[in-house]
A and B are shown apart, each in its own frame.
Chain A
Amino acid sequence: MFETVIGLEVHVQLNTKTKLFCSCPTSFAEHQNKNTCPTCLALPGALPVVNREAAVKAMRFGYAINANVNHVSTFDRKSYFYPDSPSAYQITQLTKAIVQKGELFIDLEDGSQKRIGMTQAHLEADAGKNMHEGNHSKVDLNRAGTPLMEIVSEPDMRSSDEAVAYLKKLHSTVRYLDISDANMQEGSFRCDVNVSIRPKGQEAFGTRVEIKNINSFKFVAAAIAYEVQRQTEAYEDGVYEQEVHQETRLWNVAEGVTKSMRGKEEAADYRYFPDPDLRPLVVTDEMIEEAKEIPELPDAKVARYVEELGIKKADALVITALKEMAYYFEEMLKYGAVAKTAVTWLTSELLGRLNKAGLSIETSPVDAKALGILVSKITDGTISGKGAKELLDHMMEHEDRDIDALIDELGLAQVSDDGAILAIIDEILANNQDKVEQYKSGKEKLFGFFVGQTMKASKGSANPAKVNELLKQRLNS
């Protein structure tokens, strides 16, 4: 029996206004090489200056994962020639990263949590992009110098499920902290996976294989599964030494396999050394204060939802998994929605409609205010659940958001007036004397019949709770 050992390295693109070492914008540029300057083009004589915002965002991440935030950190040069790396070295933090030794708690299937150690998170500059067109190669340096935070975990994960849970937690954490868009498709959240196996009970780690640049959680799971199988088979066939090398492999989506990226003989020598253009990054008290402004994170939200709002933990996990969903939910409560009802209306009614329409919570045509008011109207009896669904359907298609006016307009108001309901009840009872007798002699099942008849006669507009209450009064008198 084997144990899988997984460690993850995640590159998160920080959502700063400007690049890590120059004042070029990080925003989308219409033209190639537009967002460039002498520094990010590596012209002779240009120098780097550390972006304060990037440092504060990295520090914020550090505080959020209970890490040591180093008040002094240093930058190193990592040398390699590549057309999209203008200075032919990447400025990174090898020896003393800004964030060291943190922890992240992942949520497992059985509802428990597991602690994953975090080795470090450091700042580094991204490269540009090479584009190949026919016989030509072009270089676009708009992205060159964009700040990345590389987050390195301890080899604490033991299954692909744990690895995916870690990535999901990390993904939601950086998004809650508003330090990254973390868009995997666009490459602002990139993961490299280190996988090894060892016989159960063995303490020493096996040979670590790195799988680079996998751009979805699904592929992470698939790549790990493939790699574990490959390594296990090699072990069982007695060819582990020959077939499992410390190397970098790439996930091949089409074939569903990992493939060796380069020969093991060509281990790169990056010739790291401290960047003499940059003094150590010394954080100021103001930076620390800013970095410590941390919004409520998923774990704290789940606890609060369960304890204070009385929501089921499973529901709380669903709502908090996405920052936008949690904020939507909390906004609904501000407009009078009762928490438990809000959960149902958000997670099943709204999400169901959004999914069908190919939309998401971020692109929802119905905002939290409208849905919050709608839910409050159910609770106070103004409309029935059925009426509310009709109203939500209407709002999905129309822009008017005056809920009271819409209820009138669509004739969804519930009749809660005692007199009006009693008039209907009395008519029903008068027309069904025989059944009233049967009820009074013990056939209590008939109560449902009277409710149904009353609702039908009111064309569904009577408040069912009221109908129940008044019927009981009349029948038991």
Chain B
Amino acid sequence: MITLKEALTKSSEELEELKAELEKKAKGSGLNAYVGFESSGEGVPILVKDNIQVKDWSVTSGSKILQGYIAPYEATAIKNLKSKGMMAFGRANMDEFAMGSTTESSFYGVTKNPHGTDRVPGGSSGGSAAAVAGGIAIAALGSDTGGSIRQPAAYCGCVGMKPTYGRVSRFGLAAYASSLDQIGPITQNVEDAAILYDAIKGHDDKDSTSADFEIEDIANNLNPDVKLTIAVIDDHISQADTDIQKAFASTIKALEKAGHTIVHKEMSNTKYDIATYYILATAEAATNLARYDGVRYGTRAESNTTEELFFNTRSEGFGTEVKRRILLGNFVLSSGYYDAYYVKAQKVRHLIRDEFNAIFADADLILSPVAPSVAPKIGANEDPLEMYKSDMYTLGVNLAGLPGISLPVAKNDEGMPIGLQLIAKAFDEKTLFNGAASMEKAVNYTK
């Protein structure tokens, strides 16, 4: 598939042909990466995760409860990319309401990993990553609340970037956890990620949490030759599979060879990240998803009373994982437990941010695994707690609001891609992309 950069040079006729070709290939791929082939705007077709609002599209967050809902307005990120020679084309499969790490919880069924169709593509932006890696999308938008862009990118062998919290407007992104969610690009290479990030970023008056300062374009100023200090957390690596550890070690060597300085740092156990994340994210989610009540839009269950309307609609409309997280969120917010869970988790969140900041006093970037293993087999993760644990490397970045980028560095013996992530300090996307461009060159990953 041609890159986003190349596609931006094509004529509108060529792009129309390309779009038709994408649709045909996607339908024949058997990946189930697309859940719709809607088209909006003119330019290079960008695949859109099913939780980002495109005007007049059915946008459903991969849920039964939003079947029949047509978005009457457009997300700021979509408006932005349309003004940069791109268009929205197709809806990407995802875990229901972005809650999951495998895309198995989607109302539309599981998406398959293009490197092994018996494996998951990761999640929650699994459709976006599988499509880009499978050659049926030029580039895609995903959303990342706890790793939902970086992890599927790593599982599928493509590039996934999560911007600093506040860089990309959340207006029009169906909320999972408001203080953690960010829209970001999933692309074939680092430069494309920079191009798509440039297109969607920027302050938005409609999002009170949007950062309000000027930012330079990254893609045009990308410098893979910059020499950086990159921190690694040795303790964390020991928790990953041998495949991942090997890839990590050889990436460090490649980075050193490219002229970067590696420093060794310590951080507290990732188990605190997991606990903190699953308290805060579920608390926010419980209230964010309370609006899906069958009164105004989406599916409405049969009922005789108002209480039944709420109860039946939500019981029938939400899947198991979503219900689990809503229950968990309501529990941690309920009177008598609020201080012990929510308030404490907020405190830990500050400590996690402080730890990252302390490392960035001595380093430009942090190199870390994205997931402790390669993409698991479909149906392998039956225990939700095991699934939550697999998010150990990605959650901290969201809790601290930092930018991170996942890129493929190697394949294991079974041919499954391994991705690693670089993390930068808040609002330093420039260094993040420069480091990623350098690492991409240094590891020389072959698809």
A residues with CB within 8 A of B: 38, 41-50, 77, 79, 81, 83, 86-89, 137, 139, 269, 271-273, 276-279
Known: A83-B295, A269-B335. A88 touches B287 (CB 8 A): yes
Q: B347 an interface residue at 8 Å Cβ cutoff?
A: no
Say whether A44 contacts B208, CB under 8 Å. Answer: no
Residues of chain B lying within 8 A (CB to CB) of residue A38:
72-73
Say whether B208 contacts A45, CB under 8 Å. Answer: no
Say whether B342 contacts A49, CB under 8 Å. Answer: no
Say whether B290 contacts A278, CB under 8 Å. Answer: no
Given the complex of chains A and B, what is the CA–CA distance between A50 and B207 in angstroms? 10
Residues of chain B lying within 8 A (CB to CB) of residue A137:
306
Say whether A45 contacts B174, CB under 8 Å. Answer: yes
Say whether B178 contacts A87, CB under 8 Å. Answer: no
Which B residues, 304 to 352, have Cβ-Cβ distances below 8 Å to chain A?
306, 309-310, 330, 333-335, 338, 342
Residues of chain B lying within 8 A (CB to CB) of residue A277:
175, 178, 208-209
Give the contact stretch, choosing among B19-27, B165-173, B184-192, B239-247: B165-173
Q: Which of B287, B295, B306 contacts A77 (CB 8 A)?
A: B287
Q: Which of B284, B309, B310 contacts A276 (CB 8 A)?
A: B284
Say whether A44 contacts B174, CB under 8 Å. Answer: yes
- Nearest residue in A to B173 (C-beta to C-beta)? A45
Say whether A89 contacts B205, CB under 8 Å. Answer: no
> Can you list 19 A-B pairs with a CB-CB distance of less than 8 A?
A38-B72, A44-B53, A44-B59, A44-B61, A44-B66, A44-B71, A45-B53, A47-B208, A50-B208, A79-B333, A87-B291, A88-B293, A137-B306, A139-B295, A271-B287, A273-B283, A276-B284, A277-B175, A277-B209
Interface SS of chain B: helix, strand, loop or mixed?
loop
Which B residues, 46 to 102, have Cβ-Cβ distances below 8 Å to chain A?
51-53, 59, 61, 66, 69, 71-73, 75
Residues of chain A lying within 8 A (CB to CB) of residue B333:
79, 271-273
Given the complex of chains A and B, what is the CA–CA distance between A273 and B342 in angstroms? 9
Given the complex of chains A and B, what is the CA–CA distance between A276 and B335 in angstroms? 19
Q: Shortest distance in angstroms between B62's beta carbon and chain A's nearest beta carbon?
A: 12
Given the complex of chains A and B, what is the CA–CA distance between A17 and B291 in angstroms? 26
Given the complex of chains A and B, what is the CA–CA distance between A50 and B306 in angstroms? 31
Q: Which of A44, A50, A79, A83 contacts B69 (CB 8 A)?
A: A44
Q: Which of A49, A139, A271 contacts B206 (CB 8 A)?
A: A49
Say whether B290 contacts A89, CB under 8 Å. Answer: yes
Say whether A81 contacts B310, CB under 8 Å. Answer: yes
Given the complex of chains A and B, what is the CA–CA distance between A279 and B75 in angstroms? 20
5 extra A-B contacts, CB within 8 A, seeds A43-B73, A49-B205, A271-B334: A43-B72, A44-B175, A49-B207, A89-B287, A271-B287
Say whether A79 contacts B287, CB under 8 Å. Answer: yes
Q: Shortest distance in angstroms between B402's beta carbon and chain A's nearest beta carbon?
A: 17
Say whether B209 contacts A44, CB under 8 Å. Answer: no
- Nearest residue in A to B172 (C-beta to C-beta)? A45
Q: B257 an interface residue at 8 Å Cβ cutoff?
A: no
Which B residues, 174 to 232, have Cβ-Cβ distances below 8 Å to chain A?
174-175, 177-179, 205-209
Say whether B170 contacts A47, CB under 8 Å. Answer: yes
Residues of chain A lying within 8 A (CB to CB) of residue B297:
43
- Nearest residue in A to B63 (C-beta to C-beta)? A44
Q: Shortest distance in angstroms between A58's beta carbon and chain B's nearest beta carbon?
A: 17
Given the complex of chains A and B, what is the CA–CA distance between A41 and B296 in angstroms? 8
Given the complex of chains A and B, what is the CA–CA distance between A42 and B298 in angstroms? 12
Say whether A47 contacts B207, CB under 8 Å. Answer: yes
Residues of chain A lying within 8 A (CB to CB) of residue B205:
49
Say whether B306 contacts A278, CB under 8 Å. Answer: no
Q: Shortest distance in angstroms between B337's beta carbon and chain A's nearest beta carbon?
A: 10
Residues of chain B lying within 8 A (CB to CB) of residue A41:
296
Residues of chain B lying within 8 A (CB to CB) of residue A139:
295-296
Residues of chain B lying within 8 A (CB to CB) of residue A88:
287, 290-291, 293
Say whether B59 contacts A87, CB under 8 Å. Answer: no
Q: Which of B72, B208, B290 contacts A79 (CB 8 A)?
A: B290
Residues of chain A lying within 8 A (CB to CB) of residue B306:
83, 137
Known: A271-B334, A276-B284. A45 touches B75 (CB 8 A): yes
The interface centre, meaning the residue of A44, A45, A83, A277 with most chain B CB atoms within 10 A of its CB, is A44
Which B residues, 242 to 300, have Cβ-Cβ distances below 8 Å to chain A?
283-284, 286-287, 290-291, 293, 295-297
The interface centre, meaning the residue of B287, B297, B335 with most chain A CB atoms within 10 A of its CB, is B287
B residues with CB within 8 A of A: 51-53, 59, 61, 66, 69, 71-73, 75, 170-175, 177-179, 205-209, 283-284, 286-287, 290-291, 293, 295-297, 306, 309-310, 330, 333-335, 338, 342
- Nearest residue in B to A75 (C-beta to C-beta)? B208
Q: Shortest distance in angstroms between B398's beta carbon and chain A's nearest beta carbon?
A: 12
Residues of chain A lying within 8 A (CB to CB) of residue B61:
44
- Nearest residue in B to A41 (C-beta to C-beta)? B296
The interface centre, meaning the residue of A46, A269, A278 with most chain B CB atoms within 10 A of its CB, is A46
- Nearest residue in A to B333 (C-beta to C-beta)? A271
Residues of chain B lying within 8 A (CB to CB) of residue A50:
208
Residues of chain B lying within 8 A (CB to CB) of residue A49:
205-208
Say whether B206 contacts A47, CB under 8 Å. Answer: yes
Q: Shortest distance in angstroms between A290's beta carbon and chain B's nearest beta carbon?
A: 20
Given the complex of chains A and B, what is the CA–CA distance between A137 and B303 in angstroms? 13
Residues of chain A lying within 8 A (CB to CB) of residue B209:
276-279
Say whether B334 contacts A43, CB under 8 Å. Answer: no
Interchain residue pairs A-B with the least CB separation, the first 5:
A88-B290, A44-B174, A276-B178, A276-B179, A271-B333
Say whether A45 contacts B175, CB under 8 Å. Answer: yes
Q: Shortest distance in angstroms between B298's beta carbon and chain A's nearest beta carbon?
A: 9
Given the complex of chains A and B, what is the CA–CA distance between A45 and B205 in angstroms? 14
Given the complex of chains A and B, what is the CA–CA distance between A269 and B333 in angstroms? 9
Say whether B171 contacts A45, CB under 8 Å. Answer: yes
Given the complex of chains A and B, what is the CA–CA distance between A43 and B330 in angstroms? 21
Residues of chain A lying within 8 A (CB to CB) of residue B72:
38, 43
Say whether A48 contacts B208, CB under 8 Å. Answer: yes
Known: A271-B334, A273-B333. A46 touches B171 (CB 8 A): yes
Say whether A42 contacts B291, CB under 8 Å. Answer: yes
- Nearest residue in B to A268 (C-beta to C-beta)? B335
The interface centre, meaning the residue of B71, B175, B208, B284 with most chain A CB atoms within 10 A of its CB, is B208
Say whether B296 contacts A86, CB under 8 Å. Answer: yes
Given the complex of chains A and B, what is the CA–CA distance between A48 and B208 in angstroms? 7
Given the complex of chains A and B, what is the CA–CA distance between A67 and B229 in angstroms? 52
Q: Shortest distance in angstroms between B309's beta carbon and chain A's nearest beta carbon?
A: 8
- Nearest residue in B to A48 (C-beta to C-beta)? B208
Given the complex of chains A and B, what is the CA–CA distance between A279 and B208 in angstroms? 6
- Nearest residue in A to B75 (C-beta to C-beta)? A45
Residues of chain A lying within 8 A (CB to CB) of residue B295:
83, 86, 139
Residues of chain A lying within 8 A (CB to CB) of residue B287:
77, 79, 87-89, 271, 273
Say whether A86 contacts B208, CB under 8 Å. Answer: no
Given the complex of chains A and B, what is the CA–CA distance between A45 and B78 in angstroms? 13
Given the complex of chains A and B, what is the CA–CA distance between A87 and B289 in angstroms? 8
Given the complex of chains A and B, what is the CA–CA distance between A22 and B202 in angstroms? 20
Residues of chain A lying within 8 A (CB to CB) of residue B51:
44-45
Q: Shortest distance in angstroms between B236's beta carbon and chain A's nearest beta carbon?
A: 27
- Nearest residue in A to B291 (C-beta to C-beta)? A42
Given the complex of chains A and B, what is the CA–CA distance between A49 and B204 in angstroms? 11
Residues of chain B lying within 8 A (CB to CB) of residue A44:
51, 53, 59, 61, 66, 69, 71, 174-175, 291
Say whether B53 contacts A47, CB under 8 Å. Answer: no
Residues of chain A lying within 8 A (CB to CB) of residue B53:
43-45
